[in-house]
């Protein structure tokens, strides 16, 4: 089955005043009164869309028209004196670009606002139409020196469009914990098989980037499926791995070298090397409370409720000297004591469950408040777990309100029941 041919389109802009210039690209020189003439010589393309104002169409377009190439087509655009005219230019250009096209921009001529607009064009087309930005060329006549036969260099600025991708992916990871896009960008920066075979130093870069990808994926997945212990362990490794990889970021993923500190700052708060050690359990539960709030702040209420329910059991297990990580030998007795306390406040309580923690729980000054919180948590968790498939499900907004109302109570419970640091 044959593959669909990728269409390459050049989008170039003309100014009003042509000037013959010699341009240098890939160790060869090209002459043109406008840069599009040089592009025509060294670029492979299917269509060249030449954006022209009324003035440029009269003074400069004839130079390209004279080439007699049917692939070169003028597109009328406004001058760009107002933001409305700039929006109009945006609409005009984007309608000529199709899904999955390959686009080469030229920003050599035109208004000084053009580079700003083109970078926005590029970001939009990548996101909305899955367009590949092959190059953003700037033929720099001001860097030429005709007296000393120094041609104008052709600079490709497309690398800087990726900054938007890196910023977006990093923010997505920092703000909601989803590191998939960031991991994919780092994967794309890993040296190729050819580089690994020909450049031995690239192997260390590969290892650093792969380790960074793994660290980001691990903490992202651990947060998404509510694994607090794994999150703490992954956060501990994250800072060390990213710091070690810093030279590799500078070499292969420059945008991330400027953003990696933001990642460490966000997830370093959850770092705990051995969270299941006896001496670390109190700190472990404080960090779990931070995670609960982290989830709440991001409207990740399923994770917040799920973790908060288990966190309350864990705090009491620590308080009562029960095994925190063993349900059958410890946690079930704590849960039974909580359920018994809730039942006692019902008009027609069921027979109490067997629990060696009943007396310890009843002796707590906060017993009634804890039973109330537990009852609300159980109701919320059950409603969430059943996905609203009952006669009177709570609305999402109602669930959020109830979780927000419980949040201060979690803090009070932590302050009153956890041992001092």
Q: Mind listing the pLDDT tens digit for each residue in 124-133?
A: 999 899 999 9
- The full length of the chain comes to 421
Q: How far apart are CA 264 and CA 412, in angstroms?
A: 29
How far is 104 from 94, CA to CA, in rounded Å?
13
Using the structure block, give the residue that is written with the tokens 């250009």.
Answer: 93
Integer Cα distance of 352 and 343 in angstroms: 8
pLDDT the model gives residue 296: 96
Q: What does DSSP assign to residue 102? A: E
How far apart CA 378 and CA 339 sit, in angstroms, is 10
Query: What's this model's pTM, rounded to 2 decimal places?
Result: 0.82
**C-alpha dihedral, 114 to 137 to 39 to 91, nearest 10°:** -40
Please give the pLDDT value at position 345. 80
Residue 118 and residue 107 in contact, taking contact as beta carbons nearer than 8 Å: yes
The pLDDT tens digits for 74-106 are 999 998 888 899 899 999 999 999 999 999 999
Domain ranges across the chain:
8-156, 162-273, 280-421
Architecture of domain 8-156: 3-Layer(aba) Sandwich (3.40)
- SS3 of 163-230: the string is HHHHHHHHHHHHHHCCCHHHHHHHHHCCCCHHHHHHCCCHHHHHHHHHHHHHHHHHHHHHHHCCCHHH
Nearest to 317 by CA among 299, 330, 302, 307: 330
pLDDT value of position 3: 62
Rounded to an integer, what distance in angstroms lies between the CA atom of residue 68 and that of residue 64?
Answer: 8
Residue 87 φ/ψ region, left for φ over 0, alpha for ψ in the -120 to 50 degree band, beta for the rest: alpha
Cβ contact 156:34 at 8 Å: no
Check residue 78 and give left, alpha or beta (phi > 0: left; psi -120 to 50: alpha).
Answer: beta
pLDDT value at residue 181 = 94
Q: What is the pLDDT of residue 388?
A: 85
Euclidean distance between CA atoms 329 and 340, whole angstroms = 18
Q: How far from the centroid of its chain's Cα atoms is residue 324's Cα?
A: 34
State the Cα–Cα distance between residues 142 and 67, nearest whole angstrom. Answer: 26
Q: State the Cα–Cα distance between residues 40 and 52, nearest whole angstrom.
A: 17
Per-residue tens of pLDDT for the chain, all 421 residues? 456 789 999 999 998 889 899 999 999 999 999 999 999 999 999 999 999 999 999 999 999 999 999 999 999 999 888 889 989 999 999 999 999 999 999 999 977 778 888 888 898 999 899 999 999 999 998 888 878 889 999 999 988 888 889 999 999 999 999 999 999 999 999 999 999 999 999 999 999 999 999 999 999 999 999 999 999 999 999 989 999 999 999 999 999 988 899 999 999 999 999 999 999 999 999 999 999 999 999 999 999 999 999 999 999 999 999 999 999 999 999 999 999 999 988 877 888 888 999 999 999 999 999 999 999 999 999 899 889 888 888 899 999 999 999 999 999 999 999 987 6
CB 214, CB 277: distance < 8 Å:
no
Rg (CA), the chain: 31
Q: Supply angle C-alpha 55, 61, 64, rounded to 5.
A: 170
The alpha carbon of 391 is separated from its chain's Cα centroid by a whole number of angstroms, namely: 38
Encode pLDDT of 115-152 as tens digits.
Answer: 888 888 898 999 899 999 999 999 998 888 878 889 99
* Residue 123 neighbours by CB distance under 10 Å: 17
Give the Cα separation of 132 and 139 in Å (integer): 21
In the structure encoding, which two tokens stand for residue 211, read together?
């380790």
φ and ψ at 367, to 5 degrees?
A: -55, -45
pLDDT confidence of residue 421: 60
């Amino acid at each position: 089955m044959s593959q669909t041919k990728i269409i390459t389109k050049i989008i170039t802009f003309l100014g009003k005043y042509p000037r013959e210039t010699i341009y240098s690209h890939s160790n060869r020189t090209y002459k043109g009164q406008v840069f599009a003439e040089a592009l025509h010589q060294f670029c492979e393309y299917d269509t060249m869309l030449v954006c022209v104002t009324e003035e440029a169409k009269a003074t400069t377009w004839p130079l390209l028209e004279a080439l007699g190439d049917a692939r070169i087509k003028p597109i009328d655009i406004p001058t760009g004196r107002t933001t409305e005219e700039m929006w109009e230019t945006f609409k005009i250009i984007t309608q000529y670009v199709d899904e999955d096209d390959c686009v080469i921009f030229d920003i050599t001529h035109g208004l000084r606002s053009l580079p700003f607009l083109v970078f926005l064009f590029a970001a939009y087309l990548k996101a909305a139409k899955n367009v590949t930005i092959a190059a953003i060329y700037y033929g720099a006549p001001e860097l030429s020196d005709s007296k000393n036969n120094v041609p104008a260099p052709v600079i490709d600025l497309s690398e800087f469009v990726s900054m938007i991708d890196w910023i977006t992916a990093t923010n997505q990871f920092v703000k909601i914990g989803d590191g998939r896009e960031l991991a994919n960008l780092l994967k794309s920066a890993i040296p190729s098989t050819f580089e690994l075979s020909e450049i031995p130093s690239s192997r260390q870069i590969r290892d650093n980037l792969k380790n960074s990808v793994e660290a980001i994926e691990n903490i992202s997945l651990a947060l998404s499926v509510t694994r607090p212990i794994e999150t703490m362990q992954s956060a501990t490794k994250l800072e060390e791995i990213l710091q070690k990889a810093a030279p590799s970021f500078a070499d292969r993923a420059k945008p991330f070298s400027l953003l990696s500190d933001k990642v460490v700052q966000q997830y370093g708060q959850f770092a705990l090397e051995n969270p299941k050690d006896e001496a670390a359990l109190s700190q472990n539960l404080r960090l779990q409370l931070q995670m609960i709030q982290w989830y709440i702040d991001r409207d990740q209420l399923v994770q917040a409720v799920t973790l908060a329910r288990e966190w309350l059991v864990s705090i009491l297990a620590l308080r009562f000297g029960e095994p925190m990580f063993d349900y059958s030998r410890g946690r079930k007795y704590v849960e039974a004591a909580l359920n018994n306390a809730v039942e006692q406040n019902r008009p027609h309580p069921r027979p109490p469950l067997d629990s060696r923690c009943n007396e310890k729980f009843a002796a707590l000054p906060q017993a009634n408040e804890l039973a109330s919180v537990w009852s609300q948590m159980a109701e919320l968790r059950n409603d969430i777990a059943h996905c609203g498939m009952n006669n009177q499900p709570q609305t999402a907004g109602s669930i959020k309100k109830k979780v927000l109302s419980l949040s201060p109570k979690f803090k009070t419970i932590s302050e009153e029941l956890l041992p001092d640091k």
